[in-house]
Structure 1
Amino acid sequence: MASSNTPSSLLSPPPPRIRDILPKLRIGRYIPGPNNSLTVSLVSCHAINTGVTTILPRRDWFNFGCYASYFRFNGSGEMTGSHWLDETGLLSSPIILTNSFSVGPCYTGIFEYAVREYRDKETGLVDWFLLPVLAETCDLFLNDIGTMAVTSDMVVRGIDLASSEPVKEGNTGGGTGMMCQGFKGGTGSASSVIDGVAFGAETTYTVAALVQANYGAKRDLHFGGVPVGRLIEQEEAAAAAAEEDVKKAKDGSIIVVIATDAPLHPTQLQRLAKRATVGLSRVGGWGSNSSGDIFIAFSTAEQIPRAPDFSWKATVEQKVSVVQDVTINALFEAAADATEEAIYNALVGARDMEGPRGVVVKALDHEKLKSIMEKYL
């Protein structure tokens, strides 16, 4: 992972995560992965409270695709490339997350990178086709979205700098200017490790989730089933009028990206993507009319060649292994758990932010959260 943060922010310690703040909180029954995150490249433009998150399914995403699928829980949003996912179940693109007005430059940025790296070296011409995948949520309350500050260069740089470092969370990348359930939201990630068996040999599989959380109302916020948002609202009744502008903001959206190394085919991956809905509902999201809740899942287990030799003969060249459906439940459960925890991490990783209208959206108070949860854990 790499970031274009300012030098001062690079010196700041990373924000705490939900397991640091509430070590007794039970989130599923599986252990987290080594970084407890989905590895991404993050590039953010903090001056205007917006940015870009760049996720590479694999380093050579251009030549070798992944099986993938998506699920639309509520469709007030955009995910490009979804028709091709429906048609073939193949992902041959980075996944870009940004704000609603930056879909165009991010789409262009993927093409600019691909043209730079994969045009014919002798002629300089392009002889391939590409359908970029990117998704958006709307940060207009905290970002002067009309400046259209995101550029295609940010995407190119994000792909160039991608690495396997843990994900920066909160006010970073595409999540920089996002709000979540009445508090400052943003980018969050988590992962779960499950046991498996591959051709008789014991193994493990990881299911990771990354969220761009920009949805919901404070009154619906739950941590581990505890109605934290409602309890905080009761404590802060006197300050309710000051928060009226935040409550009037359009209910936003959430994008969830689920990645796994378990061998799943596209139909299974769509089923996996659907389980993000369970994690979302645990925290307090229910898919309002104006919310764009779109989830994509991909598997890195198989490398699908981009351009095998064309033939009119139906040709079989590759054997594909897949998890048996009757053994898939742990993956479903892990996807729900990772989504839930990723949203928690987006909330606790965020910091207060002032928007262009002069209104400050507060981050979730860690001490207040701990004080409430101590009564239940």
Structure 2
Amino acid sequence: MSEQSSQTPRMRVRELLPNLHLGDFPTGPLNSLTDVPGVKVNTLELDSADGTVNTGITSILPRENWSKEACYAGTFSFNGSGELTGAHMINETGLLFSPIVLTGTLEIGAAHQGIFKYAIKTLDSKKGKVDWLMLPVVAETCEAYLHDCTSFSVKPEYVVSSLESANTCTVREGNTGGGTGMICHRFKGGTGSSSRVIPRGDGKENQKGYTIAALVQANYGKMKDLRIGGVPIGRILCAESERDEARKEALEELAREKDHKDGSIIVILATDAPLHPLQLQRIAKRATVGLARVGGHGHNVSGDIFLAFSTGNSIPNIDVLGPRKGPTTVSIEVIDDSTIDNLFDATADVTEEAIYNALCMAETMTGYLGRKVEALPLDRVKEIMAKFEVSVEDLVK
């Protein structure tokens, strides 16, 4: 059950800290995963009046015609104590031709079945026959501290409904979707998103630049490791908590539960830049840079798994092609490797900002067994960051 914990309303990090440097490239219009043309997202929350249920579903459609036109894709596991179903197929073929669902650890089965049910409904499959190939892509992080995982609250029909409701609006952040019950750096975590537009380098100034965007489900980290723009916010807030007996006791209880299972983060990266699968694996790796800036270390029992896909090429699904007598070509366009660095930089930037947005938008939650996790105190963060604000111009003599 979410609750407002401060007089300061929840807001995205750019609104809270307008002078914070978040890279050299402009955001897309929504600063969201849905800035990538064709990408649709929906977040669905499930809760109960007694606070025992706090889970949900984040649904992503990579493109409108996802079943017939695959996207090139690549994955990277920074630390693999987590799950991304369908990853073997992606790594084998370099293709994504499934919706993506993010949810809680014990809800993977329902999400997997829900994608199949949605596909059967959407693709007009004949009763008793499935004549197409698809392996559902489902990723998870564990919300066991704030949610009764044994309730198995996510049902396949909820996943179908969520996928049917996917849209191009700004991704709802904080205690939303699969991030509903998640905890990040010992504060309430959840869902966050961000985007960047990278200018083209081919001289076609009249054409829009390439967009790259991230959506995170943040459920990792210790308070002392949290940094914002390089400022050790977490160490300061941790020291202040030590002087408040009530907060200290609550954090000690949370630490006892979380220290043996640090948590996880799923990062989904989307772009319309025409990248091939190996380049997308390299893009996925760069999410690690953004995570490290905020304070993620990839601990032993953390599931830090990243997936990147591109809508820049339309690759016919094998079922669309049908049988072929021999090797058959398909024409694609790809970015020159020697010009890819700006996309690498922007990947780190959108991952970093998406995590900040998850923290800044999340609200305090009292959940399973009456456990309470406070939201990041935005008013205090703003006060601390103001003391560190020195512009480059002020330092240059």
1:22 paired residue among 2, 17, 20: 17
State whether residues 197 and 203 of structure 1, in contact with CA within 8 Å, keep that contact through their aligned partners in structure 2: no
State whether residues 119 and 127 of structure 1, in contact with CA within 8 Å, keep that contact through their aligned partners in structure 2: no
1:372 is matched with which residue? 384
1:279 paired residue among 271, 287, 290: 290
State whether residues 276 and 295 of structure 1, in contact with CA within 8 Å, keep that contact through their aligned partners in structure 2: yes
2:367 is matched with which residue? 355
Change (3 A) 1:279 1:177: same
1:31 is matched with which residue? 26
CA distance in structure 1 between the partners assigned to 2:322 and 2:305 by the alignment = 34
User: Deviations 1:137-169 (Å, cap 9, x if unpaired)?
Assistant: 000000011101001111111111111000100
CA distance in structure 1 between the partners assigned to 2:377 and 2:138 by the alignment = 32
> 1:203: Cα distance to partner?
3.9
State whether residues 119 and 125 of structure 1, in contact with CA within 8 Å, keep that contact through their aligned partners in structure 2: no
What amino acid is aligned across from residue 325 of structure 2 in structure 1? W
> 1:42: Cα distance to partner?
1.2
**Structure 2: segments with no counterpart, 5+ residues:** 35-40, 390-397
CA distance in structure 2 between the partners assigned to 1:106 and 1:198 by the alignment = 42
State whether residues 280 and 340 of structure 1, in contact with CA within 8 Å, keep that contact through their aligned partners in structure 2: yes
Name the SS for the 2:243 alignment partner.
helix
2:140 is matched with which residue? 136
- Paired positions, count: 367
1:310 paired residue among 323, 329, 336: 323
TM-score by length of 1: 0.94
> 1:207: Cα distance to partner?
0.7
State whether residues 175 and 213 of structure 1, in contact with CA within 8 Å, keep that contact through their aligned partners in structure 2: yes
Name the SS for the 2:321 alignment partner.
coil
1:153 is matched with which residue? 157
What amino acid is aligned across from residue 278 of structure 1 in structure 2? V
User: Deviations 1:297-338 (Å, cap 9, x if unpaired)?
Assistant: 00011111112131122112x310000000000000000000
TM-score by length of 2: 0.89
CA distance in structure 2 between the partners assigned to 1:301 and 1:310 by the alignment = 25
Question: Aligned residues: percent identity?
Answer: 52
CA distance in structure 1 between the partners assigned to 2:291 and 2:63 by the alignment = 26
2:74 is matched with which residue? 69
Change (3 A) 1:199 1:211: same
What amino acid is aligned across from residue 155 of structure 2 in structure 1? T
What amino acid is aligned across from residue 374 of structure 2 in structure 1? K
1:245 is matched with which residue? 253
Name the SS for the 1:346 alignment partner.
helix
> 1:200: Cα distance to partner?
5.0
What amino acid is aligned across from residue 181 of structure 2 in structure 1? G
In the alignment, structure 1 residue 93 sits paired with structure 2 residue 98: yes
State whether residues 42 and 158 of structure 1, in contact with CA within 8 Å, keep that contact through their aligned partners in structure 2: yes
Q: Pairwise mapping of residues 1-377 of structure 1 onto structure 2 (< 5 A)?
A: 15-39=10-34, 40-47=41-48, 48-120=53-125, 125-198=129-202, 203-239=208-244, 240-248=248-256, 249=258, 250-306=261-317, 307-316=320-329, 318-377=330-389
Change (3 A) 1:242 1:118: closer
State whether residues 80 and 132 of structure 1, in contact with CA within 8 Å, keep that contact through their aligned partners in structure 2: yes
What amino acid is aligned across from residue 45 of structure 1 in structure 2? L
> 1:119: Cα distance to partner?
3.7
User: Deviations 1:190-223 (Å, cap 9, x if unpaired)?
Assistant: 0111111358555401110000000000000000
Name the SS for the 2:200 alignment partner.
strand
What amino acid is aligned across from residue 310 of structure 1 in structure 2? P
